[in-house]
Amino acid sequence: MEQQSIASLFDLHGKTALVTGGALGIGQAIARRLAEAGAAIMLVDINLAAAQATAQEIKARSGQAEAIYGNVSEIETIDGILHTTLKTFGSLDILVNNVGIYPFSSALETTEATWDQVFDINLKGTFFYAQKAARHMLQAGHGGRIINISSIDGLTPTRYLSHYGASKSGIIALTKALALELGPHNITVNTIAPGEIVTPGTSSVSTATLETAGVTDMNSNAFLQQIPLGRLGEPDDIAKVALFLASSAADYMTGSLLLVDGGYLLT
């Protein structure tokens, strides 16, 4: 088989990617990188105005992008969102399950409502978007890529985030199970586990917010000192890895977990 050039390896022209939580932060960065590589992007977010602004930004750079409102915990809306994606761009080749929430709460104070909300968005939504996207990919007969965003919290605990860590650990197990089942259909399923990434969401977690949740002993400086690369991550650090997984460079990878944490879990 003829070896592909570097340019062709990362060329996503003719592909369509659906990115959940694509309005801001990691999802926005992933959408930008996939669009830069030529993919058409459907941004799904509860913040429709921000998603539309990101779509406009991508189009201003000669990319293709549209935005649609979507709450990933509302499973009954997924078919409509996928139908709109197919009607708009003609295919669905790449799914990025990015959206996730992380309300701080001690294990002793976490309510059933908080637990259910975290799992409905982080894990249930990820599964059903993957399931329904895979059905379309299978029907089209062209294979596809599913990229799930987990977290280092799925591998090691953070205090006051037991519910979040459990949901992200579930994503890692789910990724492997889906990879096993979907591999024969040329659909790869991989997951990225980010470390501490500076996003609008993480930046908005104020001391007052933490204190309201009963969190009084979190020290971001201490966290930073445990990162061998000496800095917090940026959304584009994750986006570049997502681009790799979406590209032909990752053709022979499925069921894999890629840590993008600056070396934090080494310490």
* Positions marked catalytic: 164
CA triple 56-58-59, angle to 5 deg: 65
What is the amino acid identity at position 82? L
What is the amino acid identity at position 149? I
Strands of the chain, DSSP E = 16-20, 40-45, 64-69, 94-97, 144-149, 187-194, 257-260
For residue 137, the tally of other CB atoms under 10 A from its CB is 23
User: Concatenated DSSP letters for 43-95?
Assistant: EEES-HHHHHHHHHHHHHTT-EEEEEE--TT-GGGHHHHHHHHHHHHS---EE
| Structural contact between residues 16 and 40, judged by C-beta atoms closer than 8 angstroms | yes
Dihedral pair phi/psi, residue 257, rounded to 5°: -115, 120
Kindly give, in sequence order, each residue whose CB lies less than 8 Å from that of residue 177, ignoring residues fewer than 6 positions away.
none
